[in-house]
Structure 1
Amino acid sequence: MYDIATRSRALQMVAEGRSLNSVSHLTGISRASIRDWLASGLDPVSIGRAPLRTDIPEYPYLLGLYLGDGCLSRTHRDVYALRIACADAWPGVADACEQAIRAVRPGGAVCRVQQQGCVQVTSTSKQWPEVFPQHGPGKKHERAIVLESWQQEIVDAHPWEFVRGLIHSDGCRVTNWTERVVGGVRKRYEYPRYFFTNMSEDILRLYCATLDAVGVEWRVARSGARAYNVSVARRASVALMDRHVGPKH
């Protein structure tokens, strides 16, 4: 029986791109055991008994992260690795991502693989394509991204979690400023603003439709011939976003 720390180290080596053969050779752990942990998680009690959960608020948050900065990669025997890139500049996002994965994937392993400028928060399961049916070949902005009806129901039930996941992946809160001359004196004015940027028109539509549902006013800031940036700048809408999303940290 291997302890959790040993299991976690083995799965992290796989997440870093090593083959099962090399991990088995380096650790002395059989390939069959590593495959079981990839498919079913670290906790022996949970093996084969813990379906992924989509009926919780963490799922639409994780869905937002996946649509922005996530991908699924097939590894061994139809096991898929969920990888979500979280920038080093906001370590709190990586923590929130890991917590969401652990909630959706009870008993499963979560690894962090450091790369230049970001950490890949990674978890493996055969079930990931079932809960993220948007997975497919090619880049997201080059194919259709449409929520299944059951996904839309969950987003409708927890719209702010979905918005927060999208902002944490491809959005930001910034402070803009301008200067005006008032009574002969030049004054500087600052105001907060939210941006969401994504090259997928479908993902932009999902974001904007969810903003409509929660009463947030938005506008498109055009770049060239296509619209990639959605701005929230009106004071009441920014206040709503601050209350439910807030700046990344």
Structure 2
Amino acid sequence: MYDLDTRKRALALVAQGFSQNSVSKQTGISRAAIRSWLQRIEPLGHKPGAECPRCSDTPRLPDDPAAYSYLLGLYLGDGCVSAAKRGVYSLRIACADAWPGLIDACVKAVQRARLVNKVCRVQSQGCQYVTSFSKHWPCFFPQHGPGKKHERKIALETWQQQIVDTHPWDFIRGLIHSDGCRVINWTTRLVGGERKRYEYPRYFFTNKSDDIRKLFSDTLTAVGVEWTTLARGSDPWNISVARRASVALMDAHVGPKY
């Protein structure tokens, strides 16, 4: 990894008329590197004066708190932070191919929450992993750790709860987009001797973690959405929103996946 000054000196020689081959011999820098610097001089992820907002001398909120609130919901549902090499961590959010708009929204949220990081999409069977590398993802997601989320304690830091309290619908939308859905239920009623079919929308959220379900339900309550817990067998993993007024609120702020 060459620092910015080294890159500038090499490009200055090119600007003076030296060939890339000549500059390579003078400096020991490969021609491939010099060619790439002609397109982009700054190292990936480099931004002059940029620092991690969480581990700086004066910790502050992420660059875009609303985008972070949405991204936090996605992370708690379908995301992970893993150690890579040389102190770098990868953030990966699994997004189903069936929802291309959701994938775009996830990419935008990662970019806006941490402006200096590059985001890529890694195709896998049936899904794309929205991926970004940084030394500071553990600062942004202190919930990361070994093992599955539902097997360990998940609790928000004070600053994260502050963001969720300020941007609750972004958080709810992220959780629904990861582990939730909007479905159309139906039933039949006997009206005037004739059986008629009625359809009505409903939202579901399913997660094995008691802590994550509570974060979701507490946030629903805070914005005035009524919810119930549905147990399939003996496992109360499903939260349902079915009352008409609450579904209308969810439709106004969340809506179906797309």
Q: Same fold (TM over 0.5)?
A: yes
Letter in 2 for 1:230: I
**Structure 1 regions of 5+ residues with no counterpart?**
3-26, 34-39
What is the Cα deviation at residue 180 of structure 1? 1.2
Asked whether the equivalents of residues 65 and 168 of structure 1 are also in contact (C-alpha less than 8 Å), the reply is: yes
Aligned pair count reads 217
In 2, Cα distance between the equivalents of 1:47 and 1:106? Answer: 12
Which residue does 2:178 correspond to in 1? 169
What is the Cα deviation at residue 55 of structure 1? 5.2
Report sequence identity in percent: 64
Runs of 4+ in 1 over 4 A off after TM superposition: 27-30
Rate the CA distance shift 1:186–1:175 in 2: closer, same or farther, 3 A: same
In 1, Cα distance between the equivalents of 2:126 and 2:64? Answer: 33
What is the Cα deviation at residue 47 of structure 1? 5.5
- Structure 2-normalised TM-score? 0.79
Which residue does 2:125 correspond to in 1? 116
Rate the CA distance shift 1:159–1:97 in 2: closer, same or farther, 3 A: same
What is the Cα deviation at residue 51 of structure 1? 2.8
Q: Deviations over 1:192-244 (max 9, x none)?
A: 00000000010000000000000000000102222100000000000000000
In 1, Cα distance between the equivalents of 2:222 and 2:200? Answer: 24
Asked whether the equivalents of residues 41 and 107 of structure 1 are also in contact (C-alpha less than 8 Å), the reply is: no
What is the Cα deviation at residue 77 of structure 1? 1.2
Which residue does 1:70 correspond to in 2? 79
What is the Cα deviation at residue 167 of structure 1? 0.3
Asked whether the equivalents of residues 227 and 241 of structure 2 are also in contact (C-alpha less than 8 Å), the reply is: yes
In 1, Cα distance between the equivalents of 2:99 and 2:32? Answer: 36
Aligned pair partner of 1:209 in 200, 203, 218 = 218
Which residue does 2:52 correspond to in 1? 51
- Structure 1-normalised TM-score? 0.82
Which residue does 1:184 correspond to in 2? 193
What is the Cα deviation at residue 104 of structure 1? 1.0
What is the Cα deviation at residue 29 of structure 1? 5.8
Which residue does 2:22 correspond to in 1? none
Report the aligned-residue RMSD. Answer: 2.4
**Structure 2 regions of 5+ residues with no counterpart?**
3-30, 54-61
